[in-house]
Structure 1
Amino acid sequence: MSTASVITLPLTPANPFSHWFQKGLNSIRSSGNPVRTPSDRPLPANRQEAEKLRALARDMMRIDAGSAADMFAAADRHEIGYNARA
């Protein structure tokens, strides 16, 4: 028979500070992301092609879930585009 024990540390003043600091960094990071303009929106042809690939991926889920997940990701990249900075 074995027993698992977990030792929890008490909350220290560093935890609220690190939480506050992380929120500050996240707000700086999110402020650098540009807002999409209407000209940046995906083309209708890209959306149709992406939907066809998603339909194929849904059919493929029964056979190979990993490949289907890759197809879903590829469809998203095709429709939305790939931002190398992200």
Structure 2
Amino acid sequence: MQAPKIPGFFKTAKHRRFDFKTRYYDEQKENLDQRVKNAENGRSNIRFNNHWGPAKRVSANKTANRMVFIIFIGLCALSYLILKF
């Protein structure tokens, strides 16, 4: 049997528990799980992405390099004309 509770003005606070579930994110594991799931479903587009991805990147780099070269030639010509006069 418990003693009857007497209301009081000065109550001591009970301790609180720290209940935090830690979460970890492992990018390599997520990628592996996604590839396994895609392989089990029969949708394997990994080879397609690996084949076309670098080609797009190379094409974009060529275009950017060409623009930098054209701008450089234009600035050289402009500076030559300014220094000539």
Fold match (TM-score > 0.5)? no
Q: Choose between structure 1 and 2 for higher RCO, CA contacts under 8 A separated by at least 6 residues.
A: 1
Structure index of larger Rg: 2
TM (norm. structure 1) is 0.29
